């Protein structure tokens, strides 16, 4: 019931009440629609849109458009010309009044005309917050995760303000399934998080609780009072005098984590640099690693500028310091050697949603994949190559055949490039010494 009423109430704001009433009457009364053979089409479109809105899990304004269009046409039906003109005049006057507030609102509950939302003279301290983060941050690219989706405090607004201030090394992003991993800063809003807060409420509860695992990795540095009587709490990643998971070598015959499984895993943490709050150089080797369903053999990596901690709350981290590891810092990742075989690539593709069968071939510098996705054949041929200066990877799409229809490969040229430089979403550099696709395997460092 609430879903059924939510969108019509929003429609009164988008179409204005007089036009909305004329449109609804025209949809319900056939005699008030123009006499054409397809006069049934507009009411059908409106009812169909209303059903879709009712089933939609989120009340998003963009979903209003399919229903507003037929109602607007129906509002201009065979009513007296004076009625249509008066409805249009009221709608235009109400729109003019929206940002001025000259006329008092006339409303019953949520429905009415002459509503106004005059720009408020408020200071949400965005420059002060970002300047504090810039001042406390390290050199290079850093990420600031925002736990809010408020009309006055959101990711897009922070990134616009960062651009205006000229802080090119700092970027804002939201949270994901692993909360704020690899973010140097986190900004948490108290009070109202916005109309579509969703999982942000649970994340905020976790982050503001000093007894939970999250505050092992980030520490509060400052609070900013906001105009809606809430606060913006700025956190910075923590660094201590001792290494969070010890020092030296760790070895596991078999290791299983939420993010990956590994066989023959060796980790050389080296010495902890307390002054910089990181492990300067970490070497990792694994005879077999499975991450997100992709099997990698003979993996060798070097991680620089690493800081991490365990998010475990069961006490298991006392026996295994790497259990449920979360990274707070990583400056660089170099894959010195790795192999992915055809069988592993085919199994990975088959594990994707909707794929029922797949095959792969890695030979002659080309990776070919054939799969059955939702009962339809899909074929791709890629020729991955490293750039001459080592700054990135280009997938090199040779051909693509979806549902038996060839796709123009030129359309995807830019989308299939992977830069190795740090970015907001991945604030660490990548390095790959060499790449070969031949003999049934994709090899790095051969």
The two beta strands, 332-341 and 355-363, are unpaired
Among residues 47, 101, 52, which one has the least CA distance to residue 74?
Answer: 47
Mean pLDDT of 283-302: 97
Q: Does 3 score more than 60 pLDDT?
A: no
**% of the chain exceeding 90 in pLDDT:** 57
Helix (H/G/I), strand (E/B), else coil: 416: helix
Cβ atoms within 10 Å of 345's Cβ, excluding its own: 23
Q: Does 111 score more than 70 pLDDT?
A: no
Local structure of residue 278 (DSSP, 8 states): B
Helices and strands in the chain: count of H runs, count of E runs: 9, 24
**% of the chain exceeding 70 in pLDDT:** 93
pLDDT band of residue 57 (cuts 50, 70, 90) is: low
CA 275 to chain centre: 33
Q: Does 361 score more than 80 pLDDT?
A: yes
pLDDT band of residue 322 (cuts 50, 70, 90) is: confident
In order, the DSSP letters of 151-170 are TTB-HHHHHHHHHHHT-TTE
Q: What gap in Å lies between CA 235 and CA 219, rounded to an integer?
A: 5
Q: What gap in Å lies between CA 122 and CA 133, rounded to an integer?
A: 21
pLDDT band of residue 291 (cuts 50, 70, 90) is: very high
Mean pLDDT of 214-229: 96
Least confident of 14-23, 90-99, 218-227, 399-408: 14-23
Q: What gap in Å lies between CA 85 and CA 103, rounded to an integer?
A: 20
CB 220 within 8 A of CB 235: yes
pLDDT of residue 201: 95
CA 222 to chain centre: 26
pLDDT band of residue 45 (cuts 50, 70, 90) is: confident
pLDDT 10s digits, 222-268? 999 999 999 999 999 998 888 888 899 999 999 998 889 999 999 99
Top-confidence residue, 19 or 120? 19
Helix (H/G/I), strand (E/B), else coil: 372: strand
Mean pLDDT of 330-348: 97
Residue 256 tokens read as 């299983």
- At what angle are helices 17-28 and 81-97 packed, to 10 degrees? 140
Residues 406, 408, 409, 413, Cα dihedral to 10° = -150
Cβ atoms within 10 Å of 360's Cβ, excluding its own: 23
Q: Name, of 29-43, 69-83, 248-262, 327-341, the range with top average pLDDT.
A: 327-341
Residue 320 tokens read as 């295994």
Q: Name, of 54-63, 117-126, 205-214, the range with top average pLDDT.
A: 205-214
pLDDT of residue 13: 67
Mean pLDDT of 201-218: 96
Q: What gap in Å lies between CA 300 and CA 223, rounded to an integer?
A: 43
Residue with tokens 């917050």: 129
Q: What gap in Å lies between CA 279 and CA 337, rounded to an integer?
A: 21
pLDDT of residue 119: 73
pLDDT of residue 61: 63
CB 351 within 8 A of CB 366: no
CB 144 within 8 A of CB 185: yes
Mean pLDDT of 124-141: 93
Among residues 63, 61, 53, 60, which one has the least CA distance to residue 2?
Answer: 53
Residue with tokens 């990742």: 333
What domains does the chain contain, in order, with CATH numbers? Answer: 2-113 (no CATH), 126-237 (3.40.190), 248-330 (no CATH), 341-444 (no CATH)
Q: What is the mean pLDDT of the chain?
A: 89
Strands (E), 95-205: 106-108, 111-113, 142-147, 170-173, 185-189
Least confident of 28-37, 107-116, 236-245, 374-383: 107-116
CB 211 within 8 A of CB 225: no
Q: Does 108 score more than 70 pLDDT?
A: no
Q: What gap in Å lies between CA 87 and CA 21, rounded to an integer?
A: 9
């Amino acid at each position: 019931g609430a879903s059924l009423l939510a969108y019509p109430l929003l429609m009164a704001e988008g179409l204005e009440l007089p036009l909305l009433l004329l449109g609804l009457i025209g949809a319900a009364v056939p005699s008030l629609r123009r006499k054409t053979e397809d006069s049934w089409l507009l009411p059908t479109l409106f009812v169909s849109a209303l059903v879709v809105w009712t089933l939609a899990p989120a009340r998003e304004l963009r979903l209003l458009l399919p229903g507003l269009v037929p109602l607007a046409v129906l509002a201009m039906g065979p009513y007296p010309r004076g009625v249509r003109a008066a409805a249009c005049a009221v709608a235009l006057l109400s729109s003019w009044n929206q940002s001025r507030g000259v006329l008092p609102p006339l409303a019953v509950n949520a429905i009415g005309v002459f509503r106004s939302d005059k720009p408020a003279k408020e200071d949400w301290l965005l420059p002060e917050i970002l300047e504090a983060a810039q001042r406390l941050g390290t050199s290079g690219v850093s990420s600031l995760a925002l736990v809010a989706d408020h009309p006055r405090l959101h990711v897009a607004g922070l990134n616009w303000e960062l651009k205006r201030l000229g802080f090119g090394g700092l970027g804002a992003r939201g949270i994901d399934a692993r909360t704020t991993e690899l973010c140097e800063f986190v900004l948490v809003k108290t009070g109202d998080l916005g109309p579509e807060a969703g999982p942000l409420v649970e994340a905020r509860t976790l982050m503001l609780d000093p007894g939970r695992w999250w505050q092992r990795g980030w520490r509060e540095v400052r609070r900013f009072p906001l105009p809606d009587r809430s606060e913006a709490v700025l956190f910075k990643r923590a660094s201590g005098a001792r290494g969070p998971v010890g020092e030296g070598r760790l070895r596991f015959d078999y290791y299983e984590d939420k993010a990956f499984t590994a066989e023959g895993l060796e980790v050389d943490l080296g010495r902890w640099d307390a002054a910089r709050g990181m492990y300067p150089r970490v070497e990792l080797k694994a005879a077999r690693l499975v991450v997100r369903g992709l099997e990698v053999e003979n993996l060798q990596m070097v991680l620089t500028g690493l800081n991490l901690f365990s998010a475990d709350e069961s006490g298991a981290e006392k026996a295994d310091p790497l259990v449920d590891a979360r990274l707070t810092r990583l400056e660089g990742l170099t894959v010195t050697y790795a192999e992915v075989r055809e069988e592993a690539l085919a199994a990975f593709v088959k594990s994707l949603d909707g794929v029922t069968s797949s095959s792969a071939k890695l030979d002659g510098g080309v990776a070919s994949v054939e799969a059955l996705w939702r009962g339809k054949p899909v074929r791709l041929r890629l020729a991955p190559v490293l750039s001459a200066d080592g700054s990135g990877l280009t997938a090199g799409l040779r051909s693509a055949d979806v549902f038996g229809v060839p796709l123009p490969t030129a359309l995807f040229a830019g989308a299939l490039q992977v830069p190795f430089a740090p970015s907001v979403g991945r604030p660490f550099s990548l390095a790959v010494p060499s790449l070969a696709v031949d003999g049934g395997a994709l090899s790095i460092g051969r």
